[in-house]
Structure 1
Amino acid sequence: MVLNNTYDARPVQQETAVGAGVQILLLALLGSAIGMGPAGWVTGLVFAVATWAVLSRALHRTRPRSFGPANRVTLGRATLVGGVTALVADSFESSPPVSLLVGLTAVALILDGVDGKVARATGTSTALGARFDMEVDAFLILVLSVYVSTQLGPWVLLIGTMRYVFVAAARVWPWLNGELPHSMARKTVAALQGICLLLAGAQLLPQAANLAVVLAALGSLVWSFGRDVLWLWRHGSAPVAEAEPVREDSRPVRELELTHS
């Protein structure tokens, strides 16, 4: 109780404000470099404000003593995802350089393997950090699927929306909230989605090859989700007991492990 009464949110909240500022700076750099249109600007700014608001609310609720080095890496990655989001939105009005979009996405995907290692190395792993990391990853996959869908068709959106459909379904059918066994296959499939979408979006391969790559990614994702749903249906049809204390990380393993490395 003493810690809660003396908690000072200002240092932690200042870091989220700095992140929003860096996001706006990145948008300004992109705008000056490629002449980004209104769609890119508006989408990028909405992303910056939404990220700041949601993260600030989560930090206020969990009251961490510090933001932590791993969360700083994830926040930097979120800034890159905001840039990618703005470029994808701008692509509906103009043709931003593919190399710029690919570069930002590649760095964001590479950093996905950094924040988890930093958290473990510094002993700062938290449920909030894992959730933050997962949400950034999932949103990047969604944005990439939107971009690639303009080249290959709307069916590609299944890759980006499948995780969100699963989360929504878990609210309707509580048995989907059961705990899943740890699976490296699940993590591998999740990681492959970003790589395959980036490869297709880079337009380095023939159209037929891009189609095959994305179809393989979608097929592996359907297999992964299908396997987990079947396991939950057979073994996890009962929701977590209400008598147990609710923890910050009491959410499906499928949700936490989807993109967290």
Structure 2
Amino acid sequence: MGKTVEAMKGWVAQPRWAPLRLLPDLLAGVGLLLAGLAWLVSVGLLTLATAAGSVLAYGVLAVLLLGRWSAPRSGFGWPNRVTLLRALPVCVLAGALAQPELYRDHGTLLAALAGAALLLDGLDGWLARRLDAATAFGARFDMELDAALILVLCLGLALSGKVGAWVLAIGLMRYAFVAAGYRAPRLRRPLPDSTRRKVVCVWQVLALLACLPGFVTAATATWLAASALLALTVSFALDVRWLLR
């Protein structure tokens, strides 16, 4: 269910120019993304359509960071820079949705990209604690990126035909929960920290990632995705019960 519900709450008003502090890091991020995409296209691993989609996904992220979410007064900071670095493979995975066959033909490469994003997850949080630099912005950024990665992987598996369309329930459940909170305010209350919630979040990504490689059969991928959906459903049910009670 994500790492914290507090991160979904409102933000303190800041000067309009505050988001401009993020521009240097965002420009550095797009430079790294373009360099990586140029290499992947040159060796024939990705297509120009995927590259264009990846840049578009990064543009959407930049707009959210600059306009939708409140920027930290001190700029990104190292923990958020790690999260931004983790966003680059997620953007490539999102760009690959423009050609779903890539999820079949180059599933191992896409699994490696998802694995890189997963490995970097946790490093940003560790840095934030180590440097005493934890912020609501960082928690929101990390949580939304996790949710986006899960949804993108679900879309890739569904569009490629390796897993049925029901796999989208994994990626959409968190967004449905947030939407339900606007109708039932009790669902917007903060939840206590939960190891179970964190384990389920990691298992979702691991299970979906394991579905991608070409040597994994459709039947095996279906069972892996089903286990992730079952774990997520039980986790959400327990949290909803706690909030309503």
Write the distance in 2 (CA, Å) between the matches of 1:51 and 1:169. Answer: 24
Q: Which region of structure 1 is more displaced relative to structure 2, 91-100 or 215-224?
A: 91-100
Deviation digits for residues 173-201 of structure 1 (CA, Å, limit 9, x no counterpart): 22211122221101111110000001111
* Cα distance, 1:198–1:35 mapped onto 2, change above 3 Å: closer
1:102 aligns with 2:114: no
Cα drift, residue 15 of structure 1:
1.0
Write the distance in 1 (CA, Å) between the matches of 2:44 and 2:55. Answer: 17
Write the distance in 1 (CA, Å) between the matches of 2:30 and 2:50. Answer: 16
Alignment check: 8 A CA contact 2:78 2:127 kept: yes
Cα drift, residue 91 of structure 1:
2.7
Q: Which region of structure 1 is more displaced relative to structure 2, 171-180 or 24-33?
A: 24-33
Alignment check: 8 A CA contact 2:208 2:225 kept: yes
Write the distance in 2 (CA, Å) between the matches of 1:33 and 1:96. Answer: 15
Tell me which residue corresponds to 1:80.
89
The one-letter amino acid paired with 2:232 is L
The one-letter amino acid paired with 1:31 is V
Write the distance in 1 (CA, Å) between the matches of 2:154 and 2:209. Answer: 9
Deviation digits for residues 64-116 of structure 1 (CA, Å, limit 9, x no counterpart): 21311111110000011111222243234795522211111111111102111
User: What is the 5 A alignment of 1:59-208?
Assistant: 61-92=70-101, 96-149=105-158, 150-208=161-219
Write the distance in 2 (CA, Å) between the matches of 1:95 and 1:203. Answer: 6
Tell me which residue corresponds to 1:43.
53
- Match of 1:75, SS? helix
- Match of 1:151, SS? coil
Cα drift, residue 38 of structure 1:
5.4
Cα drift, residue 125 of structure 1:
0.8
* Cα distance, 1:58–1:134 mapped onto 2, change above 3 Å: same
Percent same amino acid among aligned pairs?
36
Write the distance in 2 (CA, Å) between the matches of 1:74 and 1:94. Answer: 24
Tell me which residue corresponds to 1:219.
230
Structure 1 alignment gaps of length 5 or more: 235-261
TM-score (norm 2): 0.84
Deviation digits for residues 102-135 of structure 1 (CA, Å, limit 9, x no counterpart): 1111111111021111111111111101111111
Structure 2 alignment gaps of length 5 or more: 1-13
Alignment check: 8 A CA contact 1:16 1:55 kept: no
The one-letter amino acid paired with 2:114 is T
The CA RMSD over aligned residues, in Å, is 2.3
The one-letter amino acid paired with 2:153 is L
Alignment check: 8 A CA contact 1:24 1:48 kept: no
Q: Which has the larger radius of gyration?
A: 1
The one-letter amino acid paired with 1:28 is A
Tell me which residue corresponds to 2:10.
none
1:233 aligns with 2:244: yes
Tell me which residue corresponds to 1:238.
none
User: What is the 5 A alignment of 1:3-22?
Assistant: 10-22=20-32
The one-letter amino acid paired with 1:170 is G
* Cα distance, 1:210–1:96 mapped onto 2, change above 3 Å: closer
- Match of 1:66, SS? coil
Cα drift, residue 17 of structure 1:
2.0
* Cα distance, 1:9–1:45 mapped onto 2, change above 3 Å: closer
Tell me which residue corresponds to 2:64.
54
Higher relative contact order (CA 8 A, sep 6+): 2
Q: Which region of structure 1 is more displaced relative to structure 2, 90-99 or 42-51?
A: 90-99
